[in-house]
Amino acid sequence: MVKTDFLIIGGGPAGLSAAIETGKRNIKTLVIDEGVELGGQLVKQTHKFFGHEGFYASVRGFEIAKKLVSQLNENVVIMKQTTVTGIYEDVITAYDREKDSVIEIEPKYILISVGASERFIPFENNHLPGVYGAGAVQTLMNQFRVLPGKRILMIGSGNIGLIVSYQLLQAGAQVKAIVEIADKVGGYQVHAAKVKRFGVPILLRHTIKKAIGEEKVEGAVIGQVDDRFNIIPGTEREFAVDVICVAVGLVPSVELAQMAGVKIEYIPELGGYVPYRDREMRTNIKNIFVAGDLAGIEEATTAMIEGRIAGLVVARELTGTDQPDLERMQQELIEFRSGPFSDKVRKGLERFFSQQIVSYSKDGQKDLGPTGKLRPIIECYENIPCNPCQTSCPSGAIDVPGNINSLPIVDYSKCTGCGICVMKCPGLAIFMVQENFQPGKDLVVLPYEFLPLPEKGQKVIALDRDGKDVAQAEVLKVIKSANKTNLIHIVVPAGLAQKVRSFRIPQKADSLVCRCEEITVEEIEKAIDEGYTDYEELKRYLRIGMGPCGGRTCRTITLGILSKKTGKSLKEISCGTFRPPSMPVKFDSIIKGEIEHEK
Amino acid sequence: MRRILAHPILDVEKPKVVKFFFEGKELEAFEGETIAAALVANGVDVFGRTEHSRPRGFYCAIGKCSSCLMIVDGVSNVRSCITLVKEGMQVKRQIGRGEITW
Ligand code: SF4
Ligand code: SF4
Ligand code: FES
């Protein structure tokens, strides 16, 4: 039997924050976590966080996890790879996977901060390998450096869908489209802008109909929906993808809370079934607290604040001393939840206790500054709780008036053009421009988080906000940043300063093998190196020969490459199967034909 | 290979290689990664089959959906997404509910 003052189930942002507070106050705290690394979902977040400095704004998620872990002291005992299996009247049991044994725990106070699980949606063949929750794709690529596939279809345009799409691009995958059933993007505009400027289309009023494939995902069919979210017949279209990433939301993991006797209510605004809790994160059971996504789906910053509140309340009760930080944390939470993106959460929480908000300014920057001066252009038009632009500016030129929910305003007379705000903005929403920087040329400075970095003097193709090519440009300067948001200065033809917001490095001349599906010699060679040494395998993996030409152009070239790379003669290699139709035929004419010929 | 070898934000270290067996075939993994990550890195997408023989992959990767249950060293119903791969480990696809072991 393990005895402890405070048991925290779940070592994510909420649980760790609580443990920091109680550890600091000499309270014996035990943190039990299922995962292999502490930090919960923070460990796979490679983007910089919004919010303010007190809660690690502009720091990347996995670094926040490290910072939290480093603040735990010797009063905090950690058990990883351990699952709490049951909460009974007199004892709690946990299974230690490493030691393969079950332990019993008797705590005085409990915080349940186990987070949430991926929401699932029904569509045909959704059991197929290759259909992943968005969190799973992030875990694989950012925690374990494994890419589940090359061509991705994203379902859902909330912040998670947008962020994971951007991270997939960074890891070298292709995001074919983001599909959104609603008529507007669910997440922050700044996140949406990040993927749009690399040309990823966001298809509103669309949903997935089915996954294609026998053993694993080879494609997906999507369609446009009507007002009742049914697919409109005839609008279906197919994408060739190997991963369908489902980012349609999260469901609070209430099992343990319910087992412990906590009252559970259905509040859709908070993500579904959630435990009752009060302002102090206490449930209807005196010594049981909840915090983080389990208490209502939000984001990591509010989870950290909730965790600290729970930890402080437990500390107050165990030590019998008032905790002045408690009120400050509650105030922080009110401020964070004052913006429009928290409308839903506030409405849901109203069911438990009344909500307050602080007011903020909705007036953003109007003028684009003095033409010809090197200056920042802030493209951040939503009241998101965020202010690193203000706090990072060494000259005090940026103001987020009142509180963090207000829109940033630049005082161009104070700005020195240093570019720090561009590097710091977690939304990558700040750019710098200078018109007529040279005769006939404008200068644009872009935040850039991709590999390879371009080189000084390199010719690149400048892209607009939708990722469309607008002009040839030349790289003038590359400034590497410690926080990995590098600044690339590019020179564009005059008149484009307010248009260019991204660039791409032109591919070296490719030699195409398959003209229908645009597959190159290099791609085929790479696939063979990866172990695809049979024509049929290559066909399924690369979709070579699956275009309308039926392989007329590419089959012999592909077989030739196969022969050369594997050392087998063409005679030994199977040429694969041919399937009808040999040329595309309209469905319509097939049906019509039947009828007319019968006549 | 589906390993990410260079990343604009994350450091990509060279971890220690361990060997394990999947359906009797020897595969390479990195120390500290889960069975699920190691399998996907090796191009394995089908982790098992449902009772009705549908191929099944994994879904959540954080131990919450139970889609990734596999037979590990003879034990059924192991969540491969939160179990670390170990040298010499025997991993097999699970079909249906799996056998009871003590
Ligand atoms: S460019 Fe430098 S001085 Fe100007 S607003 Fe940004 S951080 Fe401040
Ligand atoms: S411009 Fe300022 S408020 Fe907007 S996302 Fe960037 S740092 Fe945050
Ligand atoms: S993939 Fe969900 S539990 Fe393993």
Report the separation in Å between the CA atom of A257 and the middle of ligand 2, taken as the mean of its atom positions: 37
Size of interface A-B (CB pairs under 8 A): 124
pLDDT per residue as tens digits for the range A197-209: 999 999 999 999 9
Assembly ipTM? 0.96
The reported pTM is 0.89
Which residues contact ligand 2 via a Cβ below 6 A? A 50, 190, 378, 380, 386-389, 408, 425-427, 429-430
How far apart, in whole angstroms, are the C-alpha atoms of residue A294 and residue A176?
32
- Select from A58, A377, A420 the residue to mutate for testing ligand 1; criterion: most ligand atoms less than 8 Å from CB: A420
- The tokens for B58 are 């994994």
Nearest CA-CA partner of A304 in A535, A56, A471, A32 = A56
From edge to edge, which strands make up the β-sheet containing A237-239?
A206-212, A219-224, A237-239
Q: How far is CA A421 from the centre of its chain?
A: 22
Predicted local distance difference test score (pLDDT) of residue A188: 97
Predicted local distance difference test score (pLDDT) of residue A511: 78
Predicted local distance difference test score (pLDDT) of residue A599: 63
CA A117 → CA A31, A187, A247, A251, B61, distances in Å?
20, 19, 11, 5, 10
Predicted local distance difference test score (pLDDT) of residue A259: 95
A34 touches chain B (CB under 8 A): yes
pLDDT band at B1 (very low <50, low <70, confident <90, very high): low
How far apart, in whole angstroms, are the C-alpha atoms of residue A292 and residue A203?
31
- The tokens for A265 are 């209510």
pLDDT per residue as tens digits for the range A490-510: 999 999 999 999 999 987 767
- The tokens for A248 are 């349609």
pLDDT per residue as tens digits for the range A531-567: 888 888 888 888 888 877 778 878 888 888 888 888 8
pLDDT band at A395 (very low <50, low <70, confident <90, very high): very high
Q: Which residue has the higher pLDDT, B9 or A532?
A: B9
pLDDT band at A587 (very low <50, low <70, confident <90, very high): confident
Enumerate long-range contacts of A461-464, CB under 8 Å, 24 or more apart: A461/A503, A461/A504, A461/A505, A461/A506, A462/A490, A462/A492, A462/A496, A462/A500, A462/A502, A462/A503, A463/A197, A463/A198, A463/A199, A463/A500, A463/A501, A463/A502, A463/A503, A463/A504, A464/A197, A464/A499, A464/A500, A464/A501, A464/A502
- Residue A420, phi then psi, degrees to nearest 5: -65, -40
How far apart, in whole angstroms, are the C-alpha atoms of residue A520 and residue A526?
10
Predicted local distance difference test score (pLDDT) of residue A598: 65
Report the separation in Å between the CA atom of B58 and the middle of ligand 3, taken as the mean of its atom positions: 6
Mean of per-residue pLDDT scores for chain A: 94
Name the strand (E) or helix (H) holding A473. strand A469-479
A243 touches chain B (CB under 8 A): no
Ligand 1 atom nearest residue A395's Cα: 3
pLDDT per residue as tens digits for the range B15-25: 999 999 999 99
Exposure of A329 in the CB half-sphere (CA atoms within 13 A)? 23
DSSP letters, A425-471, are -TT--EEEEEEEEETTEEEEEEEE--SSPP-TT-EEEEE-TTS-EEE
Using the predicted structure, report yes or no on whether residue B65 has a pLDDT greater than 70: yes
pLDDT band at A529 (very low <50, low <70, confident <90, very high): confident
- The tokens for A165 are 């799409």
pLDDT band at A194 (very low <50, low <70, confident <90, very high): very high
